Each structure stands twice: as structure tokens, then as C-alpha cells.
Amino acid sequence: MRHSLIALTLAAAAAMPAMARAAEPVTPGRVIVAGEGEATTAPDMALLSLSVMREAATAREALDANNDAMAAVISGMKAAGIAERDLQTAGFQISPRYNFTNKPDGTQEAVLVGYQVTNTLSVRVRDIDKTGEIIDKAVTLGVNQGAGISFVNEDPSATITEARKRAIADAIARAKVLTEAAGVTLGRVVEIADQFSTQPPSPMLAKSFDAVSASAPVQSGENAYRVQVSVTFEIAK
């Protein structure tokens, strides 16, 4: 009798792991897809980078000349309707200038010939239709060095939201194609991750504004905002 009880106990103990495994829920299969969405909108603001460069025999003279020119540019921007909060110094540099001559021994001799002072002003133009007028005015007032322009959106959130919706729709469509091809049924969404990216507007760069005519023609075009999402679905069967 005792031996029978021991045998039954051992048999029950051996069966328990198998029963526990049988009771464990089966994890459904999953499919992971990437979706992309893009939405575009017209820009509502222009960003200008305007530089004034002046040269003189001494750093003091170059700085004084540059200060006078930049002060005139800033005053002109304010007179044209640019708010003070939309004007910001973006760079300032004082650089010596040298002439290099070759010596008989093959070395070069550097001779200081003057100084360059460059002051760069960042300007936000909220009335985008006035961009060409602002550029022309800046050149007239003394801007003469490398500069650029780009067109942006002050608040692109609505456009980004639309891009996200399109990215999710794209992911769902791709998942349906995959599961139908595999002969299974698409289940519920279990995880979503998104990555926002924007197609930055290409800045219009120029080494010099000497050739810019009155009311410089500019085209603002459209800005594209892109969103990528990764969506994980369960496979229903």
C-alpha cells in the first residue's frame, strides 16, 4: 500500500509541470511594419542671415566702420516693421589680413595689411511677402557679405499631425497586405512608435549681395513634414 502511494505521488509530481505548461497562455504571433506619411504646407515666415563686413588698417577703424553700418541696417529693419524680438546677432568676428610674399630661402613672410570685422544679423520676417523688400533694403544699408534665406513655419503642428495620420494609415495598409499574403488575420495593435522628421527648406546662399536688385525676387514654395512610424500588430490566427 505504501509503495502504491509513493508511486502515485511521483506520478502526480511528474504530471504537474506538463499541466502547468498546458495552462500557460499561447503568445500570439506578431507582425511589425513601418509606415510613412508626409504633409506639406506653405511657409509663413522667412529667416534671413545678413552680414556686414568692413576692412580697415586697424581693428579699431574696421570695428567703428562696421558698427556704423550694422547700426544703420538694424535701424532700417525696425523701420521696415521688423520687431526687435525678431532681430538677433548671430555671429561676430575680427580677423587680421595678411599679404604673403615668397622669400629667397623658400619660406613665406606674412605682412599685416589690415583687419576685417564681420557682424551677422539673424532676421525673422513674419510678413513673408516683404522678404524681397527687406533683402533689398538691407543691401542698400550696408549688407555686403555671405548671407542666406530659408522659409519656415512658426507652428507646423497641424501639418505634422496630418503626416502622422497618413503614416499610421500607411502602416495599417502594409500590415494588411502582408497578413493577407501569409494567409493569416491581422489582429489588434500592441505597440506604436513614431519618428518625426522634416524636409528642411534649402537656404538660398550668396557670397555677395552686390548684384541684388530692388525687391529681390524670392519664391517661398512649400515645406514638407515627414513622419515615420513603427507599428506592431498581433496575428489573430
Q: What is the pLDDT of residues 17-30, one digit of tens each?
A: 555 555 566 777 89
User: What was the pLDDT predicted at 21?
Assistant: 55
Domain boundaries, the chain: 24-43+155-237, 45-152
| Residue 159 neighbours by CB under 8 Å, 6+ apart | 39, 40, 41, 153, 223, 225
Q: What is the pLDDT of residues 30-79, one digit of tens each?
A: 999 999 999 999 999 999 999 999 999 999 999 999 999 999 999 999 99
- Angle CA(39)–CA(42)–CA(44) in degrees, nearest 5? 130
3-class secondary-structure state, position 165: helix
Distance in angstroms (rounded) separating the CA atoms of residues 113 and 55? 10
Q: Which residue has the cell 495552462?
A: 23
Report the CATH number of the 24-43+155-237 domain: 3.30.110.170
Strands 223-235 and 145-152: unpaired
Q: Is the pTM of this model over 0.75?
A: no
Distance in angstroms (rounded) separating the CA atoms of residues 196 and 228? 6
24-43+155-237 with 45-152: one CATH topology? Answer: no
Distance in angstroms (rounded) separating the CA atoms of residues 94 and 116? 6
User: What was the pLDDT predicted at 7?
Assistant: 44
User: What was the pLDDT predicted at 170?
Assistant: 97
pLDDT tops 50 at residue 8: no
DSSP 64-127: HHHHHHHHHHHHHHHHTT--GGGEEEEEEEEEEEEEEEE-TTS-EEEEEEEEEEEEEEEEEESS
Q: Which fold has domain 45-152?
A: Alpha-Beta Plaits (3.30.70)
